[in-house]
Structure 1
Amino acid sequence: MKNTTLLAASLAVGATGAYAGGMDRSGMSIAPLFETGTYVELSFGSVNPDVSGSFAASVPLIGGISSGDLTPSYTQLSAAYKRDLSENLSMAIILDQPFGADVDYPDGTGYVYQGSNASVETTGVTAVLRYKFNDRFSVHGGVRNLTSKGTVEIPIVGPRGYTMETSTENDWGYLIGAAYEIPDIALRASLTYNSAIDIDFTASEDFSGGTAAANKSPLSVTMPQSVNFDFQTGIAADTLLMFSARWAEWTETVIAPQLYSSPSFVNDNLVDHNDDTISYSLGVGRRFNDKLSGSLSVGYEKSYGGLQGNLSPRDGYKSITAGLKYQITEQTAISGGVSYVWVGDAKTTYAPSINPSFEDNTAIGVGLKLSHHF
């Protein structure tokens, strides 16, 4: 049963296709920490969403007008290095892009938000230690550094449109957790708490279309605390069952620039979230021979209903992911995966009782990972 642990990597690549709630993108996995010996990996993912919406045909003047596809493709990069420091102590450094957002309403559609766009970019560097009390119980903990920035442009707000750009900030959080293993049956259950990260931006806002000096003010944003649970166990010869769940407290993440949210202008938050999110994944991995293994998994995040933001018109998802892993040599492997995501239907708000609908939207993600044990 020991060899079934090789299957986990092929499933992980499929996470690049997830279209999770809030601004979750990487899932903040610490899986490399549990690899044997000295280990390095490099991953690349590409996600191509197709999300559009329209007003009901009964709405005067604007009824039936479609937004067009407002979600550009994006890429995800990650890397990890793990090594043992002693018989009981090991460390890992993990680079990922944990949070992000890309919205770009196309011009020329006649939709009320045409030309609006927004972007959030983050890079995370996590340093984590693991201490094994024995071959079954271990604890882990570390720190996470997050670099982040964001921009937004909404042409219909104010006399000539609204723009906002944040400073690039660098902030810190931490993680702590524990794991239980039974190596003989490839069982491992790990639980990890990720702290919230408080970010103090300087926001440059402009309601004049760029013809006047931008208003600069403090902008405090909290990226959410979260909990990751990961489980795997052998269920037959060369067959592995895998399950994961992630809870994130997105209701604590509010983006409210000073000028935009003031009573004299929009008098509302630029971004907020009605619900926290829990994302699930359940999969099976199978080792076909000494060189090739594969996996198949399904993912789910509940749709909560209510109105969603125009910069994030989605509510939950369902997904299916297939992965393959080829052992190039005894030490080096390449993994690939593809995910198909059914993005949850959502309604946004334009005016009282006027709510555009975003339905039957999808996303496709592909990923590639190269890994090596020294």
Structure 2
Amino acid sequence: MARKIPSAQTNGMKFEGEDMKSLAIAGALSCVTAAAASAGGVDRSGQPLGAIFTPGNYVEFRFASVNPTVTGTQVGGGPGSGDQARSFGTAGVTLKFAVSETIDVALIHDQPFGAAIAYPTGTGYYAAGAQANLTTNALTTVGRYKFGNGFSAHAGLRHQTYSSSAVVPFVANWTGTSSPDSGFGYLAGVAYERPEMALRVALTYFSKVTHDTPTVETSTLAPGGTSSIMTVETPQAVNLDLQTAVAPGTLVFGGVRWVNWSDFDITPAHYAALTGQSLVAFDDDTFTYTLGVGRQLTENWALSLTAVHEPQTGGFQSNLRPVDGRSSVGLGVTYTQDTFKIEAGMQHIWLGDGTTTLDQVNPAAQFDGNTALAFGMRLGFNF
């Protein structure tokens, strides 16, 4: 049986008269699956920082699995693409220490950006056989200082690795492989808390990270291969997260994430010479909006319901990411026992319709009615 906490400090918040431990963390459940789904650009994790606000010493493990279905049809009644989106998983871990009453530090691993697509062969679709993979891993060291009166500031340094590969048969059988490269970035933010209201508002800026990655390309015009250094900058972003109690046993939470995808560009040198275009580029930044409610059911159990919306940006989409925007609903459950918690959630995602092009002028294919199903789990321990 979970211990009763008449007046407890939980996730940086005090709740008078009842044990709200499960509810406080149910609000954070949205980031288990929401950001792990097929978000704008090649966003994967949403760069979570919630654990830095957890009281005491704490460790958590995060897992997510996403199964998208993305199909399209060539304009003019041409053949269909087949399902080009591969299922993928993400994982992360956080280790957080309360150094003193005013200082917290945390070490956070996540996989912030990624992509995995493979158009089936033998369909007659113009991009049949095209493939692309992008992998990142980030390790962030972040510290938080509490000034008092509810105000705090946090900042940290991020070390990130990047690698990618692609095959584009309809461009002279082009292939490209970028070797792993490391880069550094930073984050900085502020927060305000009112324990008696379970209120927290946190604003965090994440810098871009620059990678200069050795890249080898081949094509029918360069069967022996070409080598160059390709510069890729993963984008800067801003997260605004908030939560507040609205009634005994009920927590409302939400957030806004902006990502500077309009500055993201992958342009291998030989591919650019063949096509005069980038391999992957996005015309617009993305905004992702999250709103949810958590409800304490018993001393041990809590539920949360989450909605996420990412508006469409319009224009042509990349052949390697042909959807535009998304909307989703998710259901999560939290079980708490003493210093241990487990959270699990599922989310159904409606992926926005998108139009691709080969020449940046004329539409090539239309992708409509696509969906994804995401499952996430988080295990947390206070020690």
Query: Is the structural similarity TM-score above 0.5?
Result: yes
Q: Does 1:95 align with 2:106?
A: no
Q: Does 1:280 align with 2:289?
A: yes
Match of 1:201 in 2: 213
Q: Deviations over 1:284-340 (max 9, x none)?
A: 00111111001001000111211111011011110101100011x211011100011
Q: Deviations over 1:101-135 (max 9, x none)?
A: 11100111111111100000000111100000115
Specify the SS of the correspondent of 1:356: strand
Match of 2:135 in 1: 121
Amino acid at match of 1:88: T
Match of 1:368 in 2: 377
The answer to whether the 8 Å contact 2:296/2:303 transfers is: yes
The answer to whether the 8 Å contact 2:44/2:111 transfers is: yes
Specify the SS of the correspondent of 1:23: coil
Specify the SS of the correspondent of 2:40: coil
Q: Does 1:232 align with 2:243?
A: yes
Residues 204 and 322 from structure 1, CA distance in 2 versus in 1: closer, same or farther, beyond 3 angstroms? same
Q: Deviations over 1:18-55 (max 9, x none)?
A: 32111111000100000010001101110000001001
Q: Does 1:18 align with 2:37?
A: yes
Specify the SS of the correspondent of 1:52: coil
Amino acid at match of 1:87: E
Q: Deviations over 1:241-283 (max 9, x none)?
A: 0011100111111111111102xx1111111101000101000
Aligned pair count reads: 363
For structure 1, the 5+ residue unaligned runs are: none
CA distance in 2, matches of 1:181, 1:94: 22
Amino acid at match of 2:339: Q
Give the one of 331, 338, 342 matched to 2:346.
338
1:174-253 equivalent positions in 2, closer than 5 A: 174-208=186-220, 212-253=223-264
For structure 2, the 5+ residue unaligned runs are: 1-13
Give the one of 20, 39, 51 matched to 2:58.
39
Q: Identity of counterpart residues, as a percentage? A: 38
Q: Deviations over 1:324-372 (max 9, x none)?
A: 0011x21101110001100000000135534200000000000111111
Offset of residue 155 of structure 1 = 1.2
The answer to whether the 8 Å contact 1:336/1:367 transfers is: yes
Specify the SS of the correspondent of 2:27: helix
CA distance in 2, matches of 1:11, 1:340: 12
CA distance in 2, matches of 1:16, 1:281: 10
Q: Does 1:316 align with 2:318?
A: no
The answer to whether the 8 Å contact 1:9/1:335 transfers is: no
Give the one of 73, 78, 90 matched to 1:54.
73
CA distance in 1, matches of 2:140, 2:85: 28
Offset of residue 7 of structure 1 = 2.3
Offset of residue 10 of structure 1 = 3.0
The answer to whether the 8 Å contact 1:116/1:154 transfers is: yes
Match of 1:75 in 2: 89
Amino acid at match of 1:93: L
CA distance in 2, matches of 1:105, 1:223: 25
The answer to whether the 8 Å contact 1:11/1:285 transfers is: no
The answer to whether the 8 Å contact 1:106/1:115 transfers is: yes
CA distance in 1, matches of 2:266, 2:24: 41
The answer to whether the 8 Å contact 1:152/1:165 transfers is: yes
Specify the SS of the correspondent of 1:313: coil
Select the structure that is richer in strand: 2
CA distance in 2, matches of 1:17, 1:340: 12
The answer to whether the 8 Å contact 1:350/1:356 transfers is: no
The answer to whether the 8 Å contact 2:199/2:245 transfers is: yes
Specify the SS of the correspondent of 2:320: coil
